[in-house]
Structure 1
């Protein structure tokens, strides 16, 4: 058995600095079978850097405080305080704080305590193809994200 206070978990932010507080609970406690991250999102901040999917994990978000907006392929979904939303592997989404108030919430992923970077795809605009297309994602040795267009293989590094 292991126990930890959320405030005792070090803050680790996304390399693109899209949120100011993310505490990787699963890493702090050595989870092996699912991921758990605590977030505090100020107005305009997001859970991730944009529309993406995990092919190797389902994702569940619990909003403890505030309201989160998720953009999905089917449109916009609002998740209120004490509500939960689930995304199956392969479902594209991005969640963000579109309100004037702080959001407190948790993101869970399973199976596995961490997703495989090779199993993640982001939808971003490709300057070469001049269209929003799927991009593979990898973490560079410097801690930045490298996105590679699945159509033209053009790469861009963020963060």
Structure 2
């Protein structure tokens, strides 16, 4: 048995105000679990993305999340759960004025190939991207795989460079 107090787990540098990886502290080996708090304008992920082998489930505990999907936007309110299958593109946002608290579950633990699509200003289209931490570990930067242009930059507690 493992027990973890969410507030005791370090916050991760993400496009959400709070993102705490609970997988390792709980000693999980078969699925992932993450806790999120999204302030207005925050996102669950760095890009519109899909997982090759992982299913993903989001439980919205409070607030209202809006997920971009291939079928258009889907609203998920407090007390609701949404599931994304392997290979299904999605990205969740807080488009409201209220804080979102949510938990995300993924199984199996490994992502497999993960495609991340972001708008590239140079290519003028959605392109695959890769993410990289800065040398000083204070930011995460997204780059276009096609031309190498920067498509987003996030600092702890900041959405600089992000255009929802």
State the TM-score, normalizing by the size of structure 2: 0.80
> Which of 98, 111, 114 is the aligned partner of 1:115?
111
SS state at 2:130 partner: strand
Aligned to 1:124: 118
SS state at 1:69 partner: strand
Q: Deviations over 1:75-124 (max 9, x none)?
A: 01000111100111111111011111111001111101x535xx111222
Q: Give structure 2 stretches of 5+ with no counterpart.
A: 154-164
Report matched runs for 1:1-159 at 5 Å.
Answer: 1-14=1-14, 18-112=15-109, 114-116=110-112, 119-133=113-127, 135-139=128-132, 142=135, 144-149=140-145, 153-157=146-150, 158-159=152-153
Aligned to 2:162: none
Contact 1:146/1:155 (<8 A) preserved: no
Kindly tell me: are residues 8 and 97 of structure 1, through their superposed partners in 2, closer, same or farther at Cα, counting changes over 3 Å? same
Output the CA distance in 2 between the equivalents of 1:43 and 1:138. 23
Output the CA distance in 1 between the equivalents of 2:99 and 2:141. 26
Q: Give structure 1 stretches of 5+ with no counterpart.
A: none
Instruction: Say how many residue pairs are matched.
Output: 149
Output the CA distance in 1 between the equivalents of 2:90 and 2:13. 19
Q: CA deviation at 1:147?
A: 3.5
| RMSD after superposition | 2.0
State the TM-score, normalizing by the size of structure 1: 0.83
